[in-house]
């Protein structure tokens, strides 16, 4: 579903070479978990996948389309590729239901009534139906992130990218968000998750990538990733985080 | 005491009543309000346009020609006195027209636009980048993200300094006497040079300016509180 070929990213202002040749192949239904020390390029890699960051070099295909081709309609690609952010990024000026309905309605994917019905169904799924008319400022971090996931789901994406979705949550709220993500994984959604939650990686991931210094150092299913790490750097990393 | 009171009343009469002098102030006030009001609208339009020109970024992340033009405009306007701009407009640019009101509106509109541009730009940039990223990640275009997400939030940031700008504009129009217009300030000055009693006309005009701005401040404060309400509902 997603093919990445020799991806490089250098930030021109700082001349920081963050990604140094990433290649990978993600097939439908996979749950990829990307782990690694901070500064290893995990988030940049994820943000390149939906072109929130423009790759400096390399190619990305999504569903047979080369999205790094300047001719590709990026907005259209993004409608099928959801993203959940560390800082939730709910639209502060809109109520919960308006947050969820905005993109499907404005992009003419659904009529207003369809979008509303769909939003209600999704809100029920994450048990937040009573928050439909609340503003983001009235929600807890965990609630915000669950709404953010729902907002992404409202577009019926083929894949969802999660950029450290639990990193800015209070510890007692991490569980409720991971629960929604597990649910989503079980429903067959293709997911790429950057996270520090090793328990989630082990339980939900079908393949785990370890990134360090802008490269994928090692990638394996969880059993061998955690049980039998090959590279020294991964062994060191795991000894620190587990 | 009574004598003093009578002399004040007499001087008030000479300043405002005799020969229907209040009509001079009223006409002057009309010019002040007319120039300020239309200049504010023009400034808002020009300023918003300039702000988005200045914020435009090319595909390669470089500044666009639009951005450079906007920068030059803002630089020049902010770098020269508005009195001089008015004189240049009246005596050099618009020599074919003697419609001083129109020239004053254009001059103050162009001048205010430069300041409004920076206000709008600061207000838009103050909206968290994550809001834009979230909008774009859902497939909304740059324009849709601006329109539905960023601008509604930016308005709240923009309103207080914008009110300030309108207040400054209203007072700055007091220089239109330079191109022969009789605004409130000049009206007061004319009366005082006729009665040789500057106190009443000048203090009177000051009170009128002050009252207008006080009302404007109260209205803006109300609007601001209304908009802020969505922050902690």
Q: What is the pLDDT of residues B151-176, one digit of tens each?
A: 999 999 999 999 999 999 999 999 99
pLDDT of residue B232: 58
Q: Where are the alpha helices (DSSP H) in chain B?
A: 2-12, 22-55, 65-78, 82-88, 100-125, 129-137, 142-145, 151-172, 184-195, 199-228
pLDDT of residue B224: 87
Tell me: pLDDT of A14 over 90.
no
Mean pLDDT of B87-102: 95
What distances in angstroms separate CA B110 from CA A71, B43, B162, B227, one per listed residue?
A: 39, 6, 15, 28
Q: What is the 3 state secondary structure string of B65-111?
A: HHHHHHHHHHHHHHCCCHHHHHHHHHHHHCCCCCCHHHHHHHHHHHH
Angle formed by the axes of helices A96-106 and A141-153, to 10°?
20
Residue B215 sits at the chain A interface (C-beta within 8 Å):
no
Q: Do A103 and B139 touch (CB under 8 A)?
A: yes
Mean pLDDT of A130-135: 94
Contacts of A102 in chain B (CB under 8 A): 138, 140, 148-149
Tell me: pLDDT of B233 over 60.
no
pLDDT, tens digit, 9 for 90 and up, residues A65-74: 999 999 999 9
Q: Do B136 and A52 touch (CB under 8 A)?
A: yes
Q: Do residues A76 and B139 make contact, with C-beta atoms less than 8 angstroms apart?
A: yes
pLDDT of residue A232: 93
* A2 bridge partner residues: A26, A62
Residue A93 sits at the chain B interface (C-beta within 8 Å):
yes
Which class in CATH covers the domain with range B2-231?
A: mainly alpha
pLDDT of residue B131: 97
Nearest CA in chain A to B230: A93
pLDDT of residue B230: 64
Q: Do residues A198 and A211 make contact, with C-beta atoms less than 8 angstroms apart?
A: no
Assign 3-state DSSP to chain A and report helix, strand, coil percentages, each to 5.
40, 25, 35
Residue B63 sits at the chain A interface (C-beta within 8 Å):
no
Residue B138 sits at the chain A interface (C-beta within 8 Å):
yes
pLDDT of residue B215: 96
- Indicate the pTM of the whole model: 0.85
- Tokens representing A216 are 């994928």
Residue A12 sits at the chain B interface (C-beta within 8 Å):
yes
Contacts of A147 in chain B (CB under 8 A): none
Q: Enter the ipTM.
A: 0.92
Mean pLDDT of A95-114: 96
Nearest CA in chain A to B153: A93
Tell me: pLDDT of B58 over 90.
no
pLDDT of residue B211: 97
Contacts of B144 in chain A (CB under 8 A): 106
Nearest CA in chain B to A94: B149
What is the residue extent of each domain of chain B?
2-231
Q: Do B138 and A102 touch (CB under 8 A)?
A: yes
Mean pLDDT of chain A: 94
Phi first, then psi, for residue A15 (nearest 5°) are 60, 35
Residue that has been written with the tokens 């370890």 in this structure: A210
Mean pLDDT of chain B: 93
Residue B226 sits at the chain A interface (C-beta within 8 Å):
no
Phi first, then psi, for residue B123 (nearest 5°) are -65, -40
Smallest Cα–Cα separation from B216: which of B27, B78, B40? B40
Long-range pairs for A121-124: beta carbons < 8 A, 24 or more residues apart: A122/A150, A122/A153, A122/A154, A123/A96, A123/A97, A123/A147, A123/A150
How many beta-carbon contacts under 8 Å exist across A and B? Answer: 74
- Tokens representing B8 are 């004040």
């Amino acid at each position: 579903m997603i093919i990445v070929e020799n991806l490089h990213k250098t930030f021109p202002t700082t001349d920081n070479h963050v990604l140094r040749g990433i290649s990978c192949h993600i097939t439908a239904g996979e749950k990829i978990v990307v782990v690694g020390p901070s500064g290893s390029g995990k988030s940049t890699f994820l943000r390149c996948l939906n072109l929130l960051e423009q790759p400096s070099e390399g190619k990305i295909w999504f569903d047979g389309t080369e999205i790094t081709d300047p001719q590709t309609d990026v907005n259209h690609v993004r409608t099928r590729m959801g993203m959940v952010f560390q800082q939730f990024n709910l639209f502060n000026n809109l109520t919960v239901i308006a947050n969820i309905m905005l993109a499907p309605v404005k992009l003419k994917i659904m009529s207003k009534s369809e979008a509303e019905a769909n939003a209600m169904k999704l809100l029920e799924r994450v048990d937040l139906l009573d928050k439909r008319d609340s503003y983001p400022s009235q929600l807890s971090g965990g609630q915000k992130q669950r709404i953010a996931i729902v907002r992404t789901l409202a577009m019926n994406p083929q894949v969802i990218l999660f950029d450290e979705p639990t990193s800015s949550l209070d510890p007692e709220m991490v569980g409720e968000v991971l629960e929604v993500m597990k649910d989503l994984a079980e429903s067959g959604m293709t997911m790429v998750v950057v996270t520090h939650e090793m328990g989630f990686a082990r339980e939900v991931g079908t393949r785990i990538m370890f990134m360090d210094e802008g490269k994928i150092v090692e990638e394996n299913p969880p059993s061998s990733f955690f049980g039998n790490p090959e590279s020294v750097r991964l062994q060191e990393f795991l000894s620190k985080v587990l | 005491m009574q004598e003093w009171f009578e002399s004040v009343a007499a001087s008030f009469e000479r300043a405002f009543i005799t020969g229907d002098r209040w009509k001079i102030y009223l006409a002057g006030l009309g010019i002040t309000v007319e120039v300020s009001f239309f200049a504010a609208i023009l400034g808002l339009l020009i300023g918003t346009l300039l702000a988005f020109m200045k914020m435009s970024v090319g595909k390669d992340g470089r500044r666009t020609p639009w951005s450079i033009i906007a920068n030059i405009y803002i630089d020049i306007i902010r770098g020269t006195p508005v009195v001089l701009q008015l004189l240049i407009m009246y005596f050099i640019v618009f020599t074919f027209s003697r419609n001083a009101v129109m020239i004053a509106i254009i001059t103050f509109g162009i001048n205010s636009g430069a300041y409004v541009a920076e206000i709008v730009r600061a207000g838009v940039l103050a909206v968290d980048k994550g809001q834009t990223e979230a909008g774009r990640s859902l497939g909304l275009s740059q324009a849709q993200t601006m329109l539905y997400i960023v601008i509604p939030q930016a308005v709240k940031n923009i309103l207080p300094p914008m009110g300030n700008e309108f207040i400054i504009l209203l007072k700055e129009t007091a220089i239109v006497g330079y191109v022969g217009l009789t605004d409130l300030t000049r009206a007061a000055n004319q009366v005082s040079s006729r009665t040789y009693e500057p106190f009443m006309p000048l203090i009177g005009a000051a009170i009128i300016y002050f009252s207008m701005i006080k009302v404007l401040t109260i209205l803006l404060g109300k609007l601001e509180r209304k908009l802020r309400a969505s922050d902690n509902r």
